[in-house]
Amino acid sequence: MKSVLGIIGGSGIYELPGLAGPEWRRIESPWGEPSDAILHAELDGLPVRFLPRHGRGHVFSPTDIDYRANIDAMKRAGVTDLVSVSACGSLREDLSPGMFVLVEQFVDRTFAREKSFFGKGCVAHVSMAHPVSPRLVERIAAAAEAEDVRYRWGGTYVTIEGPHFSSRAESELYRSWGCDVIGMTNMPEAKLAREAEMSYATIAMVTDYDCWHPEHGNVDVKDILRVLDENRDKAQRLLVRVARDFPREREPCPVGSDSALEHAIMTAPARRDPALLARLDAVAGRVLRRAG
């Protein structure tokens, strides 16, 4: 299978230098309305697909994003490997604003979002023991080294519901759990990408110390935007390098991202809901067509 690199992120991320034939295409999804059209382009011959997570102009709050529609639309756009670029707060003294963190684990504290493509009429269970694809993370790390971008490999990202920032008590609680960064968007995105058999990795851009830090005060949107603006060039250089060095043929995933549904569907074929199966045509078509 040919590689198609997908990127979900904010403004500036879909303005990469060197893109050939950029074209915004709106992709309909049976799961709802994606955040925006998807930018189709090529970079040194590699197909790339960009989706603004909050919509151009930051239209959607973290809770209002239709994560199922976004992942389904990226799957329909042919994406095999998905890189999430996300702003986050730091829960550790040594993870200072401006640093990029290549996350390895997640804690999901969201409660108002649809978290699976599956359910009544077609039940499936996929493993989230290793939620990111190590080969994809390796390629991002190699690109960061080549572009002299300051990063940390490893760490746990706790996803809160938002749109409010955490209280001091919550921030201290997450620190006591061993979490490293805090954000509002990577769950259920990572879970849905796994169900869609995409390799997934997160570049978490530290914009601030969460409110636990006694010397930095409360989280301030103005300061977050300033750090994001300062990071824009680094993020662009990093993503361009990832794309240019990316394998043109899809690599097998060591943790099974590319075959997550192989034995995951539990519902007997005769008991599966045809209407739900029709919505699953992109996400689970590989295994459903074989079963049929």
Q: What is the pLDDT of residues 62-74, one digit of tens each?
A: 999 999 999 999 9
| Maximum distance among all Cα pairs of the chain, rounded to whole angstroms | 61
- Binding-site residues, in ranges, read 11, 53-54, 86-87, 184-185, 208-210
Query: Computed over its alpha carbons, how large is the radius of gyration of the chain?
Result: 18
Q: Coil, helix or strand for 208?
A: strand
User: For residue 153, what are its two tokens?
Assistant: 């490999």
Cα 99–chain centre separation? 18
For residue 212, the model assigns a pLDDT of: 83
User: For residue 33, what are its two tokens?
Assistant: 């309305």
Residues of the chain with pLDDT under 70: 11-12, 215-225, 227-228, 291-292
pLDDT tens per residue across span 121-173? 999 999 999 999 999 999 999 999 999 999 999 999 999 999 999 999 999 99
List b or e across 13-49, with b for residues whose CB sees 16 or more CB atoms inside 10 angstroms.
bbebeebeeeeeeebebbbeebbbbbbbbebeebbbb
- Binding-site residues for phosphate, in ranges, read 11, 53-54, 86-87, 185
Determine the Cα–Cα distance for residues 261 and 235; give it in Å rounded to an integer: 32
How many Cα atoms occupy the beta-carbon half-sphere of 102 within 13 Å? Answer: 25
User: Among all residues, which ones are annotated catalytic?
Assistant: 208, 210
Helix axes 134-147, 221-245, angle to 10 degrees: 100
Determine the Cα–Cα distance for residues 120 and 216; give it in Å rounded to an integer: 47
- N-terminal to C-terminal alpha carbon distance within the chain: 22
For residue 220, the model assigns a pLDDT of: 63
- Binding-site residues for substrate, in ranges, read 184, 208-210
Cα 109–chain centre separation? 16
**Domains of the chain, start order:** 5-291 (3.40.50.1580)
